[in-house]
Amino acid sequence: MADSLTLEVADFIVDVLTGIYSEETGRPQPLRISMAVEMKPIARYSPDTPLSASKNYMDLKFAASGALPEGVHFKLIEAVADHICETLFLQDDRILAVTVKIVKLAIAEAGEAIGITLRRERP
């Protein structure tokens, strides 16, 4: 079995223009986003291994916030997840696969988690 490295950011909340129903359009709604990014690890990590040997977690967070185009309405949260995957693939050639889980917080009635999980592998 090959070594693997998965970087994760979980339960990050960001407001995104998304939805298909009239009560959803025109205003941002909160999405809870979690990401897992698979990379090939280096042979060994020592106490003085530089950050450049891995990936900055803030880059993952940026892909789910600042990299989302302002003012663009995503009809489906699948499109939000796809945009996050593409952003991460463009950021770093070492990324092998991205998994994005999105929960639409505004439609929960009793605390349930309603959403999607999209996994993309580098083409």
Residue type, 106: A
User: Which token pair is 119?
Assistant: 């996994």
Residue span of the structural domain in which 82 resides: 5-42+53-121
Whether 33 shows a pLDDT value over 80: the answer reads yes
**CA 87 to CA 117: how far, in whole Å?**
17
How wide is the angle at C-alpha 112 spanned by C-alphas 108 and 115, nearest 5°?
Answer: 75
Q: Is residue 117 part of a domain?
A: yes
Residue % of the chain over a pLDDT of 70: 100
**CA 27 to CA 14: how far, in whole Å?**
13
Residue 89 has a pLDDT of: 96
Q: Is residue 48 part of a domain?
A: no
Q: Is residue 15 part of a domain?
A: yes
- Domains identified in the chain, total number: 1
CATH number of the domain that residue 12 is part of: 3.30.1130.10
Q: Is residue 69 part of a domain?
A: yes
Q: Is the pTM of this model over 0.75?
A: yes
Whether 50 shows a pLDDT value over 80: the answer reads yes
Q: What is the per-residue pLDDT across 51-63, written as a single tens digit (0 to 9) for each?
A: 999 999 999 999 9
Q: Is residue 47 part of a domain?
A: no
Q: Which residues neighbour 73 within 8 Å (Cβ) at sequence distance 6 or greater?
A: 17, 18, 25
Q: Is residue 90 part of a domain?
A: yes
